[in-house]
Structures are given as C-alpha cells and as structure tokens.
Homo-oligomer: A and B are copies of this chain.
Amino acid sequence: MEREFNYEIMKEIKERWSLRAFSNEKIPKEEVMAILEAARYAPSCFNEQPWRFIVADDEEKLAKMRNVLTESNQVWANAAPVLIAILSKKTFAYNGKDNFWHQFDAGTAWGYLSLEAQRRGIATHAMGGFSKKLLRESFDVSEEYDVMTVVAVGKMGDKEKLPDDLKERERPDVRESLEKLIYKV
C-alpha cells in the first residue's frame, strides 16, 4: 500500500518517513546543531521548553547509546552516524509543579527536528525500543526527566544491506484515513 495525500502539504512532511537503511556517512556538526535549533523553536506550554537532547556523535558516546537500544534496533540503527536521545523535564521551572504537557511539548520539538532534518536531506527514525533504565545509568539522567526516544540521524543508505525481513519493510508506512482521526461530535 502506498501513502495517499488528499491535500497539498509541505514537501518535507510528504517525503519524510522512518527509514532503516542508514548510511554511515558523517553528518557535519553544523547540520546536527541546525536540527536542534529547529527543535528549540517549537512552542511549549508557558514557553517551558521541556526538551533536552543527548547527542551521541563520537565513537565513545555512540557506543554507549547503541548499547541501550534493543538488539532488533541495533541491527539497523548502529549504522547511523548520530543518535540523539530526547528527554523531557517533568516539572515547570517557574513553580516546580508537574507539567502536564512536557511529553507533548517534547514531541512537538521532535517534530520540528525531523522536518528540518528532512529539509536538509537527513533522515531520522525515532525509536521506542531501548532500555530507559540503561540510558539513565549510561548518561546519568535524573528522574527529573522522562526519557522519550532515541532518534537515529543520518543519510539514507543502501537498502540492500538490510537483513531480508527489514528489506521487506523498507518503505513508508501508510496512515489511517483523516475521517478516522476526526473525533465525531
């Protein structure tokens, strides 16, 4: 099944998908900083900006970050030259109270990051398959933060290098119809 678009939307949204065939080609620091800058300008409740990023872009940090991923993610994500963990701060800075929106807002920042990357010809794939506990231990992340995702960042690589089962799945996922997403009232 192919994606279908009923309305004209932004090129970056239409063309982005969570590929697994990453190339190990290095991503210049400048590009990594630019995609974080995009995330930085996401909106958030009370402008709290609860998002934090652990950027693994050298061999030492990459080895630590790969190690927290499930084996099934390591199979393909280990090729990515950058892995970014996204954290979200649970409480508001201004009053220390629980921020109901912190995960939601961190998700918005991830959205901005993903589209700026796409604009630059850089693929991203957010993963849920990793050990939160091991990530906390490995990178000394306190309970002040939720650990939301680890994102593989890099150029598209050669699909033929993927294992057969992943080769089969290496295409954009389809979506529910718009009708289903609109809550009937």
Chain B residues within 8 Å of A55, by CB:
182
Chain B residues closer than 8 Å to A52, beta-carbon distance: 181-183
Residue among A18, A37, A149 with most chain B CB within 10 A? A37
* CB-contact partner of A38 in B10, B43, B149, under 8 A: B10
* CB-nearest residue of chain B to A36: B178
Q: How far is the CA of A120 from the CA of B55 in the complex (A)?
A: 33
Contact status of A18 and B36, CB under 8 A, knowing A10-B12, A107-B104: no
Q: Is the CB of A53 within 8 A of B183?
A: yes
- Tell me if A162 is interfacial: C-beta within 8 Å of chain B: no
With A53-B183, A111-B107, A183-B139 already in contact, the answer to whether A43 and B126 are too (CB < 8 A) is yes
> Interface 1/0s, chain A 110-135, versus B by CB < 8 A?
11101110010000001010000000
Which partner residue on chain B sits nearest A132 by CB separation? B100
The answer to the question of A34 belonging to the interface, with a C-beta cut-off of 8 Å to chain B, is yes
Smallest CB-CB A-B distances: 5 pairs: A107-B107, A111-B111, A7-B34, A104-B107, A108-B111
Q: List 24 A-B contacts (CB under 8 A).
A: A7-B37, A9-B34, A10-B115, A13-B115, A14-B41, A33-B178, A37-B178, A40-B175, A47-B175, A49-B175, A52-B181, A55-B182, A61-B185, A101-B128, A103-B107, A104-B104, A104-B107, A104-B110, A106-B107, A107-B107, A107-B108, A107-B110, A108-B111, A108-B114
